Every structure is written in structure tokens, then in C-alpha cells.
Amino acid sequence: MEGFWELLAVETAARYSVVILCTIVFLAVFELVTTYKNWSEIKSGNLAVAMATGGKIFGIATIFRYSIEHNDSLLISIGWGLYGFLLLLIAYFIFEFLTPTIKVDEEIGNGNIAVGFISMVISISLAFVIGANII
């Protein structure tokens, strides 16, 4: 049984499952900090929310990609993923703070595609920067 856990397929399935679970939890946190409801807005066709949410999903996945690549331990990968998520969350608040003439959250909720696109690009870009620093 000991050799079973060392199989690459089992390890891949474990990491995959953990990343999916973490992504769901992290998206729930984002849902709590935004004024709009991501999934109902996406269901109603709000492209700005879809882009912003897609950027967050891509960002989370990118951070975990680097974390898995650079760490053998699943627990350490989760730790780096959590740390990277916190940095993405902070970036969200910084973006809102640095654009005082635009209420980012409100604009995305109202369907402003330009703001949704910038939010997506920020999430993706910072995920690569965060990921590059994971050891």
C-alpha cells in the first residue's frame, strides 16, 4: 500500500482535488468582498463580472501551477496557494483604492466591460509575478 501513494496518477488526482477545493473556497471569499453576486451576474450575461471572475480563476490556477511545480509537499503547495490568494485579494483592494474616481466593484457589477477587462488583466498579471516568486 505504501507504493500506491507514490504513484504519479494518485498524486496528480490529490493535487487536482485540492486545487479545485481551494479555488471554490477562494471564489467564495471573493464573493463576500464584492458588492455583486458573481454567479447570478454571470448567469444574467454580465460580461464584466465574467471577465473579472475568470481572471481570478486563472490567477488562482496560475499561482497553484507554480506552487506545485516548485514544491514536493502538498501541504506546502497549499500554503503557497493561500499566500498567493491573499496577495491577489490585497491587489483587488489596492486597485479599488488607486482608482478613487472609479468605484471598481460598482462598475463591474453594472457591466462596465472595460473595468472588468482591466480587473482580469491585473489578476492574471499579478498571478505570474506572485508565481515567479514561489520557491
pTM: 0.87
Per residue in 39-54, pLDDT (tens digit) is 999 999 999 999 999 9
Mean pLDDT of 93-116: 92
Per-residue confidence (pLDDT) for residue 5, from 0 to 100: 59
Element (H, E) at 126: helix 113-132
Structural domains in the chain (count): 1
Mean pLDDT of 92-121: 92
- Regarding predicted confidence, which is higher, 1 or 43? 43
Q: Burial level of 113, CB count in 10 A (0-12/13-18/19+)?
A: middle
Residue 4's pLDDT band, with cuts at 50, 70 and 90, is low
Q: Which residues contact 18 (CB under 8 A, 6 or more apart)?
A: 74, 77, 78
